[in-house]
Amino acid sequence: MTDAHTQSGTEAEAAESKSSKRRRLTAEQLAHKRELDRRAQRNNREKTRSRIAHLESIVEALQDRDHDKLVVQIDDQKTEIERLKGLLSGVANIVKGIDSAASSQNGKSEYVEHVNGDNEDAPKCTKRLCKSPVKVEDDDTSMVETPQQSQQDDSNNGAEVAAAAKSPVDTTTMQLVNQSQIQHESITQMATSIFGNTDLDGRMWYVCGVILRYILATTTPAQIDYAHDEDIAIRAVFEGWSSVVEKYPLDRGWQWLKEVDERIYFHRWAPFRLMHLRNCRLIFLRQMMLGHTKGAKGLPNFFAPRPAEENIEHDPLVEYFPWPGLRERMLFRPTMFATNKFMDNLRCEIDFSWGSDPHQLYTLDPTTKTYTYSDWFHSRIIDLRCYPGTVDFFESFPELKADIPMKDGTSLTRLRLGYRDEEEKVAAERARRESRATDWGFSD
C-alpha cells in the first residue's frame, strides 16, 4: 500500500514539473515546440505510408509475375540438376569400372585387336544403350550376309537385345524392338511397320533408332563389308538403290541406311544425301568398332564424342548428328528431339553447302567403273559451316542457334570449331576461300 502511494506521488510530481516547465515557456517558445511536434508526427506518418506503399508494390509484383516463366525456370533448374547427377554417375561408374576394365582387356575380340592393333586413333566406345557387338570366333569367316542370312539372324538373335530404358524415348524404342523380334521382322519390315504408325510421334526418329539399336545388338564386325562403301553411296544417289542391289549384297548397316535414305531424305538434292550416307556409314563403322574411320578421309573432328557423350548412357542414334552442342542437348532432353516436329524440320530445313555441279562430288574410275569421293567433297565435309540450318528451322528451334550454323552466315563465329590436324585446317580454310568466290547454290 505504501509503495503504490509512493509511485502515485512520483507521477504527480513529474506531471506537475512538466506543467511548471510549460508555464515557464513564453508564447513564442510554446508555438515553436508545438510546430516541432507536429512536424515529427507528419514525418512518422509519411514513413509509415511509404513503408506500406513499398510492401504493396512487392505484393503486386509477385502477383503479376508470369507463372509460365517461373515454371520454365524451375524446369531448367531440374534439368541442370539431372545433368549434374548424370555427370556424377558417369564419373562414379568410371572409377568403379577401372579394375573390371583392366581384367576384361585380355578378353577383347581378336577381330577388334587385329583391326585396331597399336593404332592410338582407334575409336573409343561411348556408353550407348545397347548391347556391344558379340565376340567373333576364330572360325567365323563370313564377311557379308545375304538377305536370307539377315532374316535368319533377325529371328535367332532376337533374345540378345538388352538395354536399360532410361527415358520415355528409350522405353518406346525398346518396345518397338521387342515387337519386331517377336514378329521376326526383317529390316525392311521393321521400317515399314514403324513408319506406317501415323499415331506415333517421332516415327522418323524411331525408324532410325529402333533398327540401329537392333543391328548393333545382333551383328558382329565380321558381317560388315566396307570395301565398296564409296561406290555404294555414290551409286545409290546418282543411279538409284536398285542399281546398288544388283551389284552388291548389302550388309545390315547398308540395309538400314537404304531405308532411312528412301523414306526420309529421298527428296533432298544429291550433295545432301551423299553427305548423309557418307557420314552415317562411318559413324556406324565406328560403333561396330572397325578402326579405319580415322585419318585424312575419315570422320570430321566434330564427330568426336565429348566427355558427357562418353560417360553418360544414351541412344546410339545421338552420335549421328554432326553438331556437338546438339548431341549434348540430346543426352539430357531426348524427348524434345524424338518428335515429328523436330525430325520434319531436320530433314527439310538443314542443308549441306555445295555450290558446284553435283557431279563434282565424285570421280569415276574408267577401268573399274567404280566411284570414289572427290577431294573437293572431302574438303567440304570436314567444315562444320557447311551444315547450316535455314531461318525457318531457327524459328522453330531458336535455342539451337549457338549449336548449328545459320544459312545466312550470321551465327558462324559463335560455333566452337576444331581441327584434327594442320592438313584438315588448311583444307577447311581453302574451302572457305573458294566458297566466297563462288555463287552459292543452296536450293534443292
pLDDT of residue 335: 81
221 located within any domain: yes
On whether the CB atoms of residues 79 and 333 are closer than 8 A, the answer is yes
310/287 Cα distance (integer angstroms): 12
432 located within any domain: yes
- Which of the pair, 439 or 389, is modelled with greater confidence? 389
Task: Give the number of domains in the chain.
Answer: 1
Q: Which of these ranges, 164-178, 244-258, 290-304, 360-374, has the smallest mean pLDDT?
A: 164-178
pLDDT of residue 3: 56
Nearest Cα residue to 381 out of 280, 236, 291, 240: 280
Q: Which of these ranges, 44-48, 113-117, 215-219, 325-329, has the smallest mean pLDDT?
A: 113-117
Cell numbers placing 187: 529390316
- Across the range 227-251, mean pLDDT stands at 96
Confidence check: pLDDT of 82 > 50: yes
pLDDT of residue 162: 35
203/339 Cα distance (integer angstroms): 7
266 located within any domain: yes
The terminus-to-terminus CA distance of the chain in angstroms comes to: 109
28/38 Cα distance (integer angstroms): 16
Which pLDDT band holds residue 64 (cuts at 50, 70, 90)?
A: low
pLDDT of residue 387: 96
354 located within any domain: yes
Q: Phi and psi for 400 in degrees, rounded to 5? A: -95, 5
125 located within any domain: no
402 located within any domain: yes
pLDDT of residue 56: 85
- Across the range 288-315, mean pLDDT stands at 79
Confidence check: pLDDT of 276 > 90: yes
123 located within any domain: no
Which pLDDT band holds residue 164 (cuts at 50, 70, 90)?
A: very low
74/66 Cα distance (integer angstroms): 13
Cell numbers placing 208: 532410325
Confidence check: pLDDT of 122 > 80: no
Q: Phi and psi for 332 in degrees, rounded to 5? A: -105, -20
Cα dihedral sign for 281, 287, 293, 297?
A: positive
Domain that holds residue 370: 145-436
Strand partners, 372: 363
